[in-house]
Homo-oligomer: A and B are copies of this chain.
């Protein structure tokens, strides 16, 4: 159950790349990427997208980690967070059935 930062750091290191190398490739300031990998900054949607593309495999894993981290952040200090999460799940499932109509 990894967070987006961990995943990105592991992916980068597994390829032996430097922050500045990935940064150059994606026009992303290396210090910003550093923050992202330490979960100090949340990547924007575009950043998450281009990072997941860049690392090729595990695209969905990256996006899911990013999205789920945002969700956790949203309810992190709410007593009813978990309950709300379950309701939200049902709402999404319901919306899905609606869309197919």
Contact = CB atoms under 8 A, between A and B. Distances in A.
Contacts of A92: 72, 75, 81-82, 85
B64 A87 contact: yes
A95 B72 contact: yes
Nearest to A85: B89
For chain A, give the interface size range. Answer: 20 to 34
Interface string A1-38: 10100000000000000000000000000000000000
**Identical copies of this chain, number:** 2
A19 to B, nearest CB: 26
A57 interface: no
Interface in A53-101: 60, 63-65, 67-72, 74-76, 78, 80-96
A64 B91 CA distance: 12
Interface of A: 1, 3, 60, 63-65, 67-72, 74-76, 78, 80-96
9 contacts: A1-B90, A64-B84, A67-B74, A67-B78, A67-B88, A69-B88, A71-B88, A85-B89, A86-B89
